[in-house]
């Protein structure tokens, strides 16, 4: 079934545009379908190169704009949906997919997604005078109706403290969300491509995902500066740390998959890890990120191969 789905996407430009558009619209009802929309763009780019991926992106975006124009949905809502779909879901995965196609390195693709996340942060900081206050206003509009209907309502002081805390880190969460969305979409697209042309190839490619020491040096500088800098710049650096954690959590996850495969361990270890994520996701991501950062310097996989005589 999935092979047929991938084949349908690659059958022609109109087929890819239809799948990308329909899954993007259905994602309004079932958000996880946005990953299929992004994976469609990724698969086309991986197989047919960047120009074709951009053509599918533009064609699907145009159809979404026309549908939104003639719908009864308010213009600000349509604009927000189009901007988020084009700039947060589709464009970064096109860039990452083209890098993966050219260099055949998931690590390079992950670095591309990280750079895109940093650029998104910089654009927000340069275009908004007070980013914290901007996020606070956004959160107030979204969370206040939800909090009013909560079983245990928050006091005004508790609500203010919560909004202040969240507004200070939302830029980092936004950038992390871009990276997670981009890489998940890319993984699905690459998996579909491998299913058609290289069965089983995605697993070995994912297990080889690794960020080099150059990225580790940059991440180390960010971590160091965030701990010693104060003032306005510290807020940007704190948000940048959140992005670093997100990026290196993929490195750590790939490391775990590679070690389990190399040691011929039971897959129950992986199942346990993913189940643990359902309950203590932030803590698991921190551990994975630390493991990935350490692997950038130590290269545990190479050491294990050397020990096994490979």
- Asked if residue 183 has pLDDT above 70, the reply is yes
pLDDT for res 241 = 97
Query: For residues 220-241, b (16+ Cβ closer than 10 Å) or e, as one string?
Result: eebeeebeeeeeeeebbbbbbb
Per the model's pLDDT, the better-predicted residue between 18 and 153 turns out to be 18
For residue 37, pLDDT beyond 70 = yes
Q: Residue 308's pLDDT is what?
A: 76
Other C-beta atoms within 10 Å of 259: how many? 17
Q: Which are the contacts of 62, defined by CB distance < 8 A and separation ≥ 6?
A: none
In this prediction, residues 58-65 reach a mean pLDDT of 97
**Which tokens in the block code for residue 55?**
């053509």
DSSP character at residue 291? H
What is the tens place of the pLDDT at every residue in 208-218?
999 999 999 99
pLDDT at 232: 62
Compute the mean pLDDT over every residue in the chain, rounded to the nearest whole number. Answer: 93
Residue 310 has pLDDT above 70, yes or no: no
In this prediction, residue 150 has a pLDDT band, given cuts at 50, 70 and 90, of low
């Amino acid at each position: 079934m999935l092979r047929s789905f991938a084949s349908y996407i690659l059958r022609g430009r109109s087929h890819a545009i239809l799948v990308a558009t329909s899954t993007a619209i259905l994602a309004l009802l079932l958000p996880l379908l946005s990953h299929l929309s992004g994976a469609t763009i990724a698969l086309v780019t991986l197989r047919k190169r960047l120009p074709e991926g951009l053509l599918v992106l533009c064609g699907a975006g145009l159809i979404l704009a026309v549908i939104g124009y003639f719908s009864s949905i308010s213009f600000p809502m349509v604009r927000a949906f189009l901007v988020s779909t084009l700039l947060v879901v589709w464009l970064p995965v096109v860039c990452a997919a083209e890098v993966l196609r050219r260099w055949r390195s998931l690590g390079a693709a992950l670095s591309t997604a990280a750079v895109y996340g940093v650029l998104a942060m910089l654009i927000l900081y340069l275009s908004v005078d007070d980013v914290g206050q901007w996020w606070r206003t956004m959160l107030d509009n979204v969370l206040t109706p939800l909090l009013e209907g909560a079983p245990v309502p928050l006091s005004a002081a508790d609500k203010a403290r919560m909004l202040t805390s969240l507004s200070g880190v939302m830029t980092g969460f936004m950038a992390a969300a871009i990276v997670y969305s981009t890489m998940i979409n890319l993984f699905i697209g690459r998996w579909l491509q491998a299913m058609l042309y290289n069965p089983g190839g995605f697993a070995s490619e994912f297990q080889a995902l690794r960020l080099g020491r150059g990225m580790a040096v940059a991440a180390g500088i960010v971590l160091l500066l965030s701990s010693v800098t104060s003032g306005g710049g510290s807020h940007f650096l704190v948000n940048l740390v959140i992005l670093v954690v997100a990026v290196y959590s993929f490195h750590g996850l790939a490391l775990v998959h590679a070690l389990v495969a190399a040691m011929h361990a039971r897959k129950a270890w992986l199942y346990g890890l993913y189940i643990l994520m359902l309950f203590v996701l932030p803590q698991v991501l921190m551990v994975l990120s630390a493991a990935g950062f350490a692997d950038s310097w130590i290269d545990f996989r190479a050491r294990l191969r050397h020990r096994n005589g490979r």
